[in-house]
Amino acid sequence: MQKAKLKACAAAVMVLYSGLSLAAGEGAGGGQAEAVAGAAVTPSSAGAVIVTGTRASGLKVENSASPIQLLDNASLARTGQPDLMQALAQNLPSFTAQAFGGDTANLTLSARLRGLSPNNTLVLVNGKRRHGTSNLAVLGGPFQGGAAADLSYIPVAMIDHIEVLQDGAAAQYGTDAIAGVINIILKSNSKGGTFNVNGGGYSDGGGRTADGMGNVGFAPFDKAFVSLSAESKYHDFSNRGGLDPRVVDAANIKKMPLLQAPGYPNLNKISGDAQYHLTVFGLNAGYEIDDDTSLYAFGTVGRKEARAFENYRMPDRLPQVYPLGFSPKETIKDQDYAFTAGAKGKLAGAWNWELSTTYGRDKAEIGVEDSANVSLYQDKGFTPTVFSAGAFIASQWTNNLDFSRELALVGAKPATFALGLEHRVDRYEIQAGDEFSRYKEGSQSYPGFSLTDAGKHDRNNKAVYANLIVFPVDALTVDLAARYEHFSDFGNAKVGKITGRYDFTPAFALRGTVSNGFRAPTLAEQYYSATNVSPRSAFVQLAPNSPGAALVGVNGLKPEKSTNFSAGLVLNPSSNVALTLDAYQITIRDRIVGSGSLYGSGGADNSPAVTAAILANGNVLDPTVVQTGINIFSNAVNTRSRGLEFVATLNSNYADYGRVDWSAAANYNKVTVIKVNQAPVQLRPQTLLDKTAISDIETASPKARLNLGALWKKGAWSVNLREAIYGKSSEWGTPDGAAYYKTEIGVTAITDLEVSYRMSNGWTLTAGGNNLFNKYPDQVNAQLLAVYRANLDNSAVTVYPSFSPFGINGGYYYARASYKF
């Protein structure tokens, strides 16, 4: 079966190659293409100098020994929704953005590359490490455990272009760059600027969005530049949930005043987008002291306030305060900033040196509104309706000292030798909620963090690396990298990478990489502890190194270790055609994943150890819930990811009919659990990973995705058409750990269309649609929904699967006005 798939992929590549070559002969010449959707080397990016994946100076993208995809600012702007993560997801087939999250994960969505954890992709800004979010994604799903950089705090107007290295790069950039590296290169303009306003909303209601962003550059004095950017964005709620069976149940209607509740019967609005208001500012500045020495600084600062609906509480929950029931909302007040300062120059005319320091911090204050603490009211006769549930704080301080120089070793071209030092301090803190939010079972929908949850944690990391790039013969590039790191809590790590490329002709080259990686658990994965509740259940997220975790057979986390192999070819049959095809395999040992639901009560199988772990953690759970249990992170599995990346671009000039930049980008990625490492006897008869948890790893993201793009330009008009074809994805679901039901999203084609008109006075007017034909994913398994409804389970509200790769909201339509000066 696997061989058949590979043969089919190869056949498709040859057909597309033949078609592009033919088209090149028919329509070649004239004009340069822009970096269009998913393009690895477009005719315009050909000749562009890259800084990611290499420490050699002046390397052009078409000569890279590693697979690099470039996205310019125009490509990012043409994605419609003014959001950097969505822009990357629409352009890169191997990049999957989270559409919907549970609890606080819905307030900070994340993304992943090549089907791996969000934590396996390193984000850089101007080549410097970006700090991660403090808001860890903890509920089940393919993005569980994500605490990577929050891309929403980087204004799109601030970005010149993005370089995406789709290869393991732990030896070059740090021991967590297993899936790849996203390097965001900022604008360094000393004059001019841009401004645009954008508004839109979903076809079927909700999601109203208004965004304004701008950039301006100026030179405060000779040999200096300052580039300032800002963005303010508002996004409203959406609701794509079904009816809550509790509110339409005849018996409940008879005994409670449900019919009088505003909005009946659509009372449960948990399934949909959060509402948020985001404001962020950015700075990039530089000054040349002399021909050999310069200073630079850049940074961002932003604030986000967001609210998300939680499950509706029935009128009988606390009729003295909410006679018609209530819909609690989780809130977040998030403050994020990062700043980098550095200097670089030359020593003795030979050595390049660079010294830099970067500090980033994210604080998320979690709140609950329109809620209550039922036990507090019953015991004390009062309850607040607004609670402070506590806060997460994550910070990172990174210092780098780098040296590089050219050497005359072997071959006609000079070799590049680089070495450097890095010191990093990570800190993570959970602050307890107010006393009312954590009294007994706590505030409804999101209990405050308890005193046992709260704590401060830190880690020190020191690293040294060396990199040698040689050209033994003119057509051969060999890139060797090695890195040694010492972690204050995990000891030493040694990683290396060998990359090679051979150019048989100017039109054909082969390239390949062998590397290994090492990722220490994030501090959030190690120490996060909280309670997740619904009207029917209460589950404690245990910290892996807590006393409760030991009772269920989990004794902390250890680092992930990985091995990466890749091999690819580069074809440039003519000046306006570029094709790349890369195959890869990533094996991760001791991969950190979230468990399935482990029941202490209310499941088909219950483990006494789970109940003991909850008690050891000091939790008091709501006595009215049907199910109790735990979730926990562990090094539960070894996985293997095998895949193909294909990119093709063609620039065609049709004379009087304008110019078209064609593109095709495809990704095939299969993730397999090759070994289950942990099966604690304490959990019997349950297992640490159930069918749901395994499917989140293997099948919740599509194995295949194809992006087809065409950008037509003639005079002042331009039309951008993109077709994204998503393969099947699936997840197993269960109401109680007994019977499992498979939810599958079939192959779906999503069309995006944008039309622009450039006016003579610097303005450009644009109208467009994402998901033009308003397509929705297939619904949750009908049998599973029927069980939920029969049990009057609020889970029946979620009729569209949250793992949908193209969201659950349908079509989004927008208009934009842009001004360039």
Mean pLDDT (whole number) for 106-111: 78
**The pLDDT value given to residue 705:** 96
pLDDT value, residue 181: 93
Find out whether 225 and 193 touch, Cβ atoms under 8 Å.
no
Beta strands, E only, 188-269: 193-202, 209-218, 224-235
pLDDT above 50 for 138: yes
Pairing of strands 111-113, 530-533: unpaired
What pLDDT is recorded for position 727? Answer: 97
Residue type present at position 815 = A
* pLDDT in the model for residue 239: 96
Four-point Cα dihedral 53, 58, 60, 63, nearest 10 = -70
- The pLDDT tens digits of the residues spanning 473-520 come to 999 999 999 999 999 999 999 999 999 999 999 999 999 999 999 999
Nearest-angstrom CA–CA distance, 821 and 297: 24
Task: Find the range with the poorest average confidence among 106-110, 145-149, 496-500.
Answer: 106-110
Whole-number pLDDT of residue 32 = 34
Collapsing DSSP to helix, strand or coil, 795 comes out as helix
pLDDT of residue 213 exceeding 90, the answer is yes
> Which pLDDT value is given to residue 273?
94
The residue to which tokens 């927008």 are assigned = 814
Mean pLDDT, rounded, of the chain: 91
pLDDT band at 750 (very low <50, low <70, confident <90, very high): very high
More confident: 64 or 430 = 430
Residue 819 has pLDDT above 50, yes or no: yes
* Average of per-residue pLDDT across 643-667: 94
The dihedrals phi and psi of 436, each to the nearest 5 degrees, come to -75, -30
The reported pLDDT for the residue numbered 41 is: 41
Split at pLDDT 50, 70, 90, the class of 198 is very high
Asked if pLDDT for residue 17 goes beyond 80, the answer is no
Residue of 778, 595, 751, 614 lying closest to 688 (CA atoms):
595
The secondary structure of residue 62, as a DSSP letter, is G
Over residues 669-721, the pLDDT tens digits come to 999 999 998 778 999 889 899 999 999 999 999 999 999 999 999 999 999 99
Cα separation values, 178 from 34, 196, 242, 499, Å:
29, 36, 39, 15
Residue 36 pLDDT > 90? no
Burial pattern 209-236, b for ≥16 Cβ within 10 A else e, equals: bbbbbbbbbeeeeeeebbbbbbbbbebb
Residue 709 CA to residue 754 CA, distance in Å, equals 12
Q: What's residue 47's pLDDT?
A: 61
CA angle 266, 269, 273 (to 5 degrees): 140
Indicate if the alpha-carbon torsion angle 251, 376, 454, 136 is positive or negative: positive
Task: Tell me the sheet residues that pair with 642.
Answer: 585, 670
Q: What is the pLDDT of residue 633?
A: 94
pLDDT of residue 654: 93
Residue pair 544/633 in contact (Cβ under 8 Å)? The answer is yes
Q: Tell me how far apart the alpha carbons of residues 606 and 157 are, in angstroms, rounded to a whole number.
A: 53
pLDDT at 24: 40
Burial class (CB within 10 angstroms; exposed 0-12, middle 13-18, buried 19+) of 746: exposed
Structure tokens given for 612: 């003991």
**Which pLDDT tens digit goes with each residue over 286-325?**
999 999 999 999 999 999 999 999 999 999 999 999 999 9
Write down the pLDDT at residue 6. 40
pLDDT at residue 46, as a whole number: 57
Rounded alpha-carbon distances, angstroms, from residue 718 to 27, 352, 590, 709: 19, 43, 49, 13
Model pLDDT for residues 166-187, shown as the tens digit of each residue: 999 999 998 789 999 999 999 9
Q: Please choose, from the candidates 515, 498, 497, 645, the residue with its C-alpha nearest in 3D space to the C-alpha of residue 569.
A: 645
Q: Which residue has the higher pLDDT, 137 or 283?
A: 283
In the prediction, which pLDDT does 29 show?
36
pLDDT for res 38: 32
Asked if residue 383 has pLDDT above 50, the reply is yes
Helix (H) or strand (E) holding 7: helix 2-27
Contact predicate 600/606, CB 8 Å: yes
DSSP 497: E
Query: Residue 414: is the preceding peptide bond cis (ω within 30°)?
Result: no
Q: Identify the CA nearest to 424 among candidates 457, 458, 467.
A: 458
In the chain, % of residues over pLDDT 70: 93
